[in-house]
Structure 1
Amino acid sequence: MSNVLKTAWFATKVGIGGGVIYLTVDQGIWGSSQQATAAYDRVFDIMPGTKSVSEKYLNLPKKEDVNINFRSYWNTGVFYTFDFVANVPSKVVSLKDYVVDFATSPPAVAKKGDETSKAEESTPVQSEAAVAPEVSAEAAQENPPAEVTQ
């Protein structure tokens, strides 16, 4: 059933598109300039308010009113485009670094009292045997270790 609905939906879209193309060709939109002008006038006869709206908003400025050097804008756009294309690898790497830095959590701000405890926690703890000073043989004879009694 789903395939039938998909086929019907596709046929509807193709039919609407084909109908629009047929109608515009039949009315002369794609014909000569005289046919297009006649079609344009027929549209305004059907919808009378549209001609005043189009004349109000579709007026092009005169050449004297436009004093812009389009060539310099075009060249600037071309330079920026090729600069972007040339620098895409470095921009991707910098973007990756930015995302990684943003994704990692910022370091916690330690209070003054916590600084010493953090320093003590970060130092490795050594065993007492490694810390105890070496005892010479003479000192060991003078002070024999206490024997453990059971």
Structure 2
Amino acid sequence: MTTLFTQIIDGDIPGRFVWADDVAVAFTTIAPITDGHTLVVPRAEIVEITQAPADVLAHLTHVAQVVGQAQQAAWSSPRVALLVAGFEIAHLHLHVLPAWDESSLTFANARHDVPAADLDAAAEQVRAALVAAGHGTHVPAALGSPAL
């Protein structure tokens, strides 16, 4: 059975994609802790971080770094946080989010009532910052598509 993230990557479930390449995709979450909260996900169904091949994990962290730089540019956050938990979905994913302090870095602060238009706008801010930083070749042509 495919994971929820594979269904999003395959286009069976909508996603707000900000990055796509042969190894990974990144899309914003529907329950952000902060605006721009993005998930970096390998295309391959890897259950958790300890099972990831080293090259895939290195690539995921590189994408997380680039996305984080775009988030800092878009929201002027003093830091970017990287969280790896993975209990909710058995498909490795890195949470990348603009951060202003450590006390807010808890999934208890995830907002489940953000209007779709606001989620779209946040994703577009990440996408625009990625393009402005020279990463346009990895920003999908359409917000809802993982294809380049």
- TM-score in same-fold range (> 0.5): no
Question: Which has a greater percent of strand?
Answer: 2
TM-score range, shorter chain: under 0.3
Question: TM-score, with normalisation over the residues of structure 2?
Answer: 0.16
Structure with bigger gyration radius: 1
